[in-house]
Amino acid sequence: MQIQKYKQLIYLALLSAGLLVSCTDKKPEKEAAAAPAEEKKEALALNPEQMKAVGIEIGPLEQHNLSAVVKANGQLAVPPQNQADVSVLYGGIISRIYVLEGQQVKQGQVLAMVKNQDLIKLQQDYLASKNSFAYVQAEYDRQKQLNDAGAGTGKSFQSATANFNAESAKLKAYESQLQQLGISPAKISNGHIVSQFPVSSPINGTVGQITANTGAFVQPGTSIMEVVDNAKIHCDLTVFEKDLMAVKIGQQVNFQLTNQNNQVITGTINGINKSFENESKGVIVHAVIHNPQHQNLIPGMYVTALINVGTQKDWAVPVAALVRTGGRAYIFVVEEHADGPKHNDYQFKKVEVSTGVSELGFTQIKPLTELPAKTKVVTKGAFYLESKIAGGGEEEE
C-alpha cells in the first residue's frame, strides 16, 4: 500500500516537470514571434503629402549654445532719433488729417492741415518788410556808389548800411517763420495768401497714435500724433549684477518673442550702461537686432533673451521634436527613402536620447547611439509619429 502511494507521488512529480518544460519551451516561441512586431513598430514611412497633411516638418540636427549663456528679460525699443512727435508750431484748428494709424509715411509728407487766421497778418508783415527792404536796399546801393566815388558822406553811408542790415535780418526772420510752417515765401510774393499751414512728418516711419481730431483746436507745441521708424529697433535687456562681468560688447544674443509663436531671432550686444536701474541692481544692456525675416517688431514688446557668453555648444532640438514615454525621451530621425513602389516615402526611426537644459524652445540632447553626419530629424509632429507607432502604424482615412 505504501509502495503504491510512492509510485503515485513519483508519477505526479514527473507529470509536473513535463508541464513545466512544455511551458518554458513555448514561451520563447511567443517572444520570438513578438519581437519582430515590436521592432516593426519602431519605424514608419510617410510620403510628403501625408507629412504635409499632418504637419510634420524635418530639419538638420543642429548645435546650440544653451549652457554657457546669461538669461535676461527686456523690451524692444527704438532710438530717440527714430521716434518723433508731430507737433504744431502755431496754434489753430485742425482742418484735415490725411493719414491713419499704422500708415507708412515719408519725411516731409503732409499729415494734416491747421487753420490760423494770424497767418494772414504774418504774410502781410512779410510783404511789407519785403517792400521796405527794397527801398532800403536801393538807398544802400546809392550811398555805397557815392562813398566809393568819394562824393558822399561817411555818416549817410553808415546810416544806409545800418538800415539795410536791419531790414535784411527782419525779412529773413519772416521768411524763416513761413518756411517752418511749410508756406512758400515766393508764392506769397506772387499774391498767393493762405489761411492754413501743413503739418509734415519729420522722419520716415509708421504713424502711431493720433491724439487729435478734425475740428479740434491745438495749442502751439502740442503733439497731434507720433511717427516711429522701426528700421533701427533694438532691445534693452536687464542684466543683474551677478552676471554683468560675463557680458561683453559683440556677444551674440538669441531673442524669443512671446507674441510671435515663440520665434527666435538673433542680435548682437552693442552697448552696456554704466549705472544701475533704480533699486533692481540691474544694468541695461543694448542689443541690435538682426531681423532678416522682417517680423512685425513693435517697440514695447517683451522678450526673453539668452546672451552667449561662452563657446560651449551641444546638440539641441525644438521642444516639439521630443516625445516622452515610459520615463524616457526619444526623437525621430529621417533615414533614407523607404524601399518599395513609393520611392519618395520618408522612413522615420525612433531614437532614444538623454536630455539637458531647455531654453528658448530648444532642449539639449545626447543620442544614446551615434548618429550619422548631417542627420535630419523631425522638428515638428513627432507626437503624431509616436501615436502611429503606438497604434501599430495603421493608416488613417
Handedness of CA 352, 353, 359, 360 (dihedral sign): negative
Q: Which H helix or E strand runs over 155?
A: helix 154-180
CA 373 to chain centre: 33
Q: pLDDT band for position 44 (50/70/90)?
A: confident
Mean pLDDT of the chain: 80
Is the same domain home to 272 and 240?
Answer: yes
- Confidence at residue 19, expressed as pLDDT on a 0 to 100 scale: 41
Q: Which three cell numbers stand for residue 72?
A: 535676461
Is the same domain home to 292 and 328?
Answer: no
pLDDT at 13 over 60: no
Q: Which three cell numbers stand for residue 275?
A: 549705472
- Confidence at residue 173, expressed as pLDDT on a 0 to 100 scale: 92
User: Could you tell me if 79 and 205 are in contact, meaning their C-beta atoms sit under 8 angstroms apart?
Assistant: no
Is the same domain home to 331 and 373?
Answer: yes
Q: pLDDT band for position 14 (50/70/90)?
A: very low
In a domain, 22, yes or no: no
Measured distance CA(236)–CA(251) in Å, rounded? 14
How far is residue 11 from each of residues 4, 19, 106, measured CA to CA in Å?
11, 13, 105
Could you read off the pLDDT of 157-192 as tens digits, one per residue?
888 889 889 999 999 998 898 888 888 888 888 888
In a domain, 16, yes or no: no
Could you read off the pLDDT of 270-313 as tens digits, one per residue?
999 888 877 777 899 999 988 755 567 888 888 888 888 876 77
Residue (of 213, 218, 217, 181) closest to 198 by Cα position: 181
In a domain, 1, yes or no: no
Residue 340 DSSP one-character state: S
DSSP 63-129: EE--SSEEEEEEEEE--GGGEEEEE-SS-EEEEEE---TT-EE-TT-EEEEEE-THHHHHHHHHHHH
Could you read off the pLDDT of 101-137 as tens digits, one per residue?
989 999 999 999 999 888 888 888 889 988 998 888 8
Residue 202 CB-density burial (10 A; 0-12 exposed, 13-18 middle, 19+ buried): middle
Could you read off the pLDDT of 62-87 as tens digits, one per residue?
888 776 788 888 998 998 889 999 99
Contact residues for 20 (Cβ-Cβ < 8 A; gap 6+): none
Is the same domain home to 126 and 159?
Answer: yes
Q: Which three cell numbers stand for residue 197?
A: 499751414
Is the same domain home to 382 and 319?
Answer: yes
Q: pLDDT band for position 232 (50/70/90)?
A: confident
Measured distance CA(183)–CA(177) in Å, rounded? 9
Q: pLDDT band for position 3 (50/70/90)?
A: very low
Measured distance CA(332)–CA(323) in Å, rounded? 9
Domain that holds residue 152: 118-191
Q: Which H helix or E strand runs over 364?
A: strand 362-367
pLDDT at 27 over 50: no
Tally of domains in the chain = 4
Handedness of CA 389, 390, 393, 395 (dihedral sign): negative
- Confidence at residue 86, expressed as pLDDT on a 0 to 100 scale: 93
Residue 105 CB-density burial (10 A; 0-12 exposed, 13-18 middle, 19+ buried): buried
Question: Considering the chain, what percentage of its residues have pLDDT values greater than 90?
Answer: 21
Is the same domain home to 112 and 122?
Answer: no
* CATH value at residue 351: 2.40.420.20
